[in-house]
Amino acid sequence: MWSGFQAADQWSSAELDQINSLWIENLPESPPADPTNLVADRKEARTLGHQLFFDQRLSSNGKVSCATCHDPSLAFTDGLKTSRAIGISARNAPSLIGVSYSPWLYWDGRKDSQWSQALSPLEDQAEHGGNRMFYAKLILNDPDYRGSYKAVFGKTPEINDSERFPDIYGPFETPENKALWSGMAKSDQFTINEVFANLGKALAAYQRMLKPGASRFDDYVKSLNSNQKNTSSNVLTSQEKLGLKLFIGKADCTNCHNGPLLANNAFHNTGLLSSPGKLPDLGRKRGIDIVRQDPFNCLNAFSDDNGACMELLYASSTKELVGSFRTPSLRNLKLTAPYGHAGQQQSLAEVLNHYNEAPDAMIGHNEAKPLKLWPWELWQLEAFLETLHATPKIEGKWLVPPKNNS
């Protein structure tokens, strides 16, 4: 038994290279630039986005904010299988920490920018349940918001003429609301869409600040790099080190969970069952069709640079994507249960048992192969995964509602 403990602290040069590739210090300080959002890194936009994120007035019942389903105390998730706001969502709320480093948003990648993703829940009848006219009037008729909006975007259109800009309530996609919208002049529709898109850009500016902090695993990597004897006895336990050895070796986790975010930003079918009573989810295959038709995608008029759309232009839409979902980051797993695109797995043990067995997929093809790990190896792997928890790398004031938020 003692020799096993000793082995847990011995690493080959190839293993050390793999371990270092996962270190948080290798994550760029700033997320990739988003040329489709010119205010993405402006202080004034972050401040406005911060206020919008926690404001429950951005919902049809005045009780739902972005933070309802993305709670900072739960690593910006909600602890539920599928989110509950105005109604019940079909998907699990993923963490927002570090998502600015991904070119695709949502489990199925149906959004190609963070600002465009921020718009979708606002009009979803199961989430915020409002519509773009409602939000535009809220922002432009509120003195504080109007001033902040002008400071960021430079102009505040007048939309108080009720004949040109009728009051619209509830979700955007209802027949009644679509009829009201269709009766408007195209130029007035553009004005409202532009204000709506700008709200998403401010929200994205805030969310780009949500970066992962250093975990115990990262402290261990740091200790390895500062210890020429290649040993470190106290930062991780022997069980956790053995789990790390499995993670980069026998369990082959780094095939998908690689880099400092432990996610490759790709889409994979791993054979997850649908929720009881639900049809199988087409995942990325449907998501790519949605994003290509989205009026707020990179190629459309509200993008600040629709020449920077290589990801969207060349995204695959082959049948192999049926049932595939975006690889989530493994950071902060301790706070982000349940797991899976529909919260199918309540615990890390369930997740690991699923990959250990790798059942046939309900639709498409399960890319994963059975791990065939022993029970104690699964325990070791779980112990390592729990070392990836850390507080976000951001000042605490950004994790609570701003004082002037009403």
Render pLDDT for 147-180 as a digit per residue (tens, 0 to 9). Answer: 999 999 999 999 999 999 999 999 999 999 999 9
Identify which of 323, 312, 397, 340 has the alpha carbon closest to the alpha carbon of residue 116.
312
Least confident of 1-10, 203-212, 271-280, 293-302: 1-10
Unique residue bearing structure tokens 């979803």: 124
What share of the chain in percent tops pLDDT 90? 86
On the question of a common fold for 2-30+214-388 and 43-211+395-399, the answer reads yes
Distance CA 196, CA 31 (A): 23
pLDDT, greater one: 372 or 272: 372
Say if residue 143 is exposed, middle or buried (CB neighbours under 10 Å; 0-12, 13-18, 19+).
Answer: exposed
Distance CA 320, CA 269 (A): 9
Please name the residues in contact with 139: beta carbons below 8 A apart, sequence gap of 6 or more. Answer: 145, 146, 149, 195, 199
At residue 279, the pLDDT reads 80
Based on its alpha-carbon atoms, the radius of gyration of the chain, rounded to whole angstroms, reads 23
Q: Are 208 and 74 in contact (CB under 8 A)?
A: no
Residue 51 pLDDT > 80: yes
pLDDT, greater one: 318 or 350: 350
Q: Are 291 and 321 in contact (CB under 8 A)?
A: no
| Residue boundaries of the structural domains of the chain | 2-30+214-388, 43-211+395-399
pLDDT level of residue 4 (50, 70, 90 thresholds): very low
C-alpha torsion sign, points 290, 294, 296, 301: positive
At residue 91, the pLDDT reads 92
pLDDT level of residue 191 (50, 70, 90 thresholds): very high
At residue 1, the pLDDT reads 38
pLDDT digits (tens, 9 = 90+) for 102-144: 999 999 999 999 999 999 999 999 999 999 999 999 999 999 9
Residue 390 pLDDT > 90: yes
What share of the chain in percent tops pLDDT 70? 96
pLDDT digits (tens, 9 = 90+) for 339-381: 999 999 999 999 999 999 988 888 888 998 999 999 999 999 9
Whether CATH 1.10.760.10 fits 2-30+214-388: yes
Q: Are 9 and 231 in contact (CB under 8 A)?
A: yes
Over residues 258-272, mean pLDDT: 94
Say if residue 134 is exposed, middle or buried (CB neighbours under 10 Å; 0-12, 13-18, 19+).
Answer: buried
Whether CATH 1.10.760.10 fits 43-211+395-399: yes
Residue 8 pLDDT > 80: no
Q: Which amino acid is at 240?
A: E
At residue 263, the pLDDT reads 96
Q: Strand locations in 204-324, DSSP E?
A: 267-268
- Paired with 326 in beta bridges are 267
Token pair for residue 83? Answer: 């989110």
> How wide is the angle at C-alpha 326 spanned by C-alphas 208 and 337, nearest 5°?
80
pLDDT level of residue 2 (50, 70, 90 thresholds): very low
Mean of the per-residue pLDDT values for the chain? 93
Identify which of 401, 402, 23 has the alpha carbon closest to the alpha carbon of residue 212.
23
pTM above threshold 0.85: yes
At residue 371, the pLDDT reads 94
Write b or e for each residue in 87-108: b if 16 or more Cβ atoms lie within 10 A of its Cβ, otherwise e: eebebbbbbbbbbbbbebbbbb
At residue 261, the pLDDT reads 97
